[in-house]
């Protein structure tokens, strides 16, 4: 699925740098897990629900490529058989095949276009994001071990 992920970019609202998101960063965003900006090392989080929905819909698009390939192959085979049986002429078969291939490429082009998006990532304060009690608890157990 790596062939479908390039193109999704992240824009760090803190240092104003746009960078290509790596698959693990995309996974982190998809499950609303904060991660560090590779440039300013601020903790980033996607706060926009619309962009989050858009990102999650990419999983469905990843299935589009193989299913479109099968669909186009079936269309070409049907055109071949129909011409062979004698229902349409050779020119008709050629036209049907060309239309099928055209639809195939247009659909994939549209899918690729949708993949090219930039997510606006807001820098969040990790102290507010994670409860203080968590740190207090960790410190407590460390003191307890000593
Ligand atoms: Zn940054």
CA of residue 123 to ligand 1 center, whole Å:
8
Query: pLDDT tens, 58-82?
Result: 777 778 889 999 999 999 999 999 9
Query: pLDDT tens, 128-137?
Result: 555 555 555 5
Distance in angstroms (rounded) separating the CA atoms of residues 145 and 143: 5
Q: What is the pLDDT of residue 65?
A: 86
CA of residue 32 to ligand 1 center, whole Å:
17
CA of residue 36 to ligand 1 center, whole Å:
8
Q: Average pLDDT for residues 29-45, to the nearest whole number? A: 92
Distance in angstroms (rounded) separating the CA atoms of residues 102 and 94: 12
CA of residue 21 to ligand 1 center, whole Å:
13
CA of residue 58 to ligand 1 center, whole Å:
24
Q: Which residues contact 9 (CB under 8 A, 6 or more apart)?
A: 18, 19, 20, 21, 117, 118, 119
Distance in angstroms (rounded) separating the CA atoms of residues 134 and 126: 12
Whole-prediction pTM value? 0.58
């Amino acid at each position: 699925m790596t062939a479908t992920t390039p193109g999704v970019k992240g824009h760090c609202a803190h240092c104003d740098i746009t960078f290509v998101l790596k698959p693990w960063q995309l996974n982190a965003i998809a499950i609303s897990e904060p991660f560090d900006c590779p440039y300013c090392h601020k903790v980033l989080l996607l706060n926009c629900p619309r962009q989050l929905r858009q990102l999650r819909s990419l999983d469905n698009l990843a299935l589009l490529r193989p299913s479109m390939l099968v669909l186009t192959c079936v269309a070409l085979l049907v055109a071949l058989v129909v011409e062979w049986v004698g229902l349409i002429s050779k020119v008709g078969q050629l036209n049907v095949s060309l239309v099928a291939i055209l639809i195939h490429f247009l659909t994939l082009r549209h899918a690729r276009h949708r993949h090219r998006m930039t997510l606006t990532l807001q820098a969040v304060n990790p102290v507010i994001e994670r409860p203080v009690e968590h740190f207090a608890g960790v410190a407590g157990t460390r003191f307890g071990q000593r």
